[in-house]
């Protein structure tokens, strides 16, 4: 898994997503962009990618493509339209983009050999470089993941720990 950080200036979300999809197809990887204000850290993305890959290996994916599956896990949501809230939107957005060649034998890897580094470089050309990972918006995250101050106070973990738990719980909710 490669993570690319930067600022995305998006005029048309559909066109931006198509461009990411084209990069994914060219390099044989899944590419998924996130609004960095919702991503609590690298572990959040690592957990989402690992669970999406496990679902792909077991032929248990919710979505038809692995990039969307990664989005669903990262959002802790089964509904694509609700999960899209953590994706990039029109305008200028702090972004984190995941590039992953997936489980052995996955459909993306078969297409072009799974060149994560090449895809990461291509994605990097779409962003203005900036450190964005870990620069999340606490209130936005708590609202999206439905985490209350009371719940947070009842755990010894951090907000990032609770979010990672929500990501993992998606598999239980099936």
Domain ranges, ordered by start, for the chain:
2-172
pLDDT at 171 exceeding the cut of 80: no
pLDDT band with cut points at 50, 70 and 90 for residue 150: very high
What's the confidence (pLDDT) of residue 110? 42
Alpha-carbon gap, residue 80 to 70, rounded angstroms: 11
Alpha-carbon gap, residue 44 to 49, rounded angstroms: 9
Helix/strand/coil percentages in the chain, nearest 5: 55, 15, 30
Alpha-carbon gap, residue 99 to 6, rounded angstroms: 14
Q: For the chain, give the percent of residues with pLDDT over 70.
A: 93
What's the confidence (pLDDT) of residue 157? 86
- What mean pLDDT is predicted for residues 36-61? 95
- What mean pLDDT is predicted for residues 30-58? 96
Among all chains, which residue has been given the structure tokens 């962003």?
A: 127
Q: Is 84 exposed, middle or buried (0-12, 13-18, 19+ CB in 10 A)?
A: middle
Whether residue 164 contacts residue 142, with contact meaning beta carbons closer than 8 Å, is answered with no
Q: 87-145 pLDDT, tens per residue?
A: 999 999 999 999 999 875 445 444 445 899 999 999 999 999 999 998 899 999 999 99
What's the confidence (pLDDT) of residue 111? 44
Alpha-carbon gap, residue 43 to 153, rounded angstroms: 21
Q: Does domain 2-172 have CATH number 3.40.630.40?
A: no
pLDDT band with cut points at 50, 70 and 90 for residue 174: low
3-state secondary structure of 149: helix
- What mean pLDDT is predicted for residues 36-46? 96
Helices (H), the chain: 13-27, 42-57, 66-75, 80-83, 107-112, 116-124, 138-144, 149-153, 159-172
- What mean pLDDT is reported for the chain? 91
The most distant pair of C-alpha atoms in the chain lies apart, rounded to whole Å, by: 48
Q: 5-15 pLDDT, tens per residue?
A: 999 999 999 99
What's the confidence (pLDDT) of residue 113? 58
């Amino acid at each position: 898994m490669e993570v690319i950080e930067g600022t995305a200036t998006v005029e048309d979300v559909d066109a931006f997503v198509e461009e990411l999809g084209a990069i994914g197809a060219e390099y044989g990887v899944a590419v998924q962009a996130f609004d960095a204000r919702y991503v609590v850290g690298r572990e959040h993305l690592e957990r989402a990618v690992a669970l999406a890959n496990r679902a792909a290996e077991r032929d248990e994916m919710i979505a038809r493509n692995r990039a969307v599956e990664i989005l669903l896990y990262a959002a802790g949501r089964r509904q694509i339209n609700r999960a899209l809230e953590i994706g990039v939107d029109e305008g200028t957005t702090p972004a984190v983009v995941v590039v992953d060649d997936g489980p052995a034998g996955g459909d993306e890897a078969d297409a072009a050999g799974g060149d994560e580094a090449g895809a990461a470089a291509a994605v990097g050309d779409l962003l203005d470089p900036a450190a964005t990972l870990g620069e999340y918006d606490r209130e936005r995250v708590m609202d999206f993941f439905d985490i209350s101050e009371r719940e947070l106070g009842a755990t010894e973990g951090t907000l990032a720990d609770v979010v990672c738990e929500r990501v993992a719980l998606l598999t239980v909710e099936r």
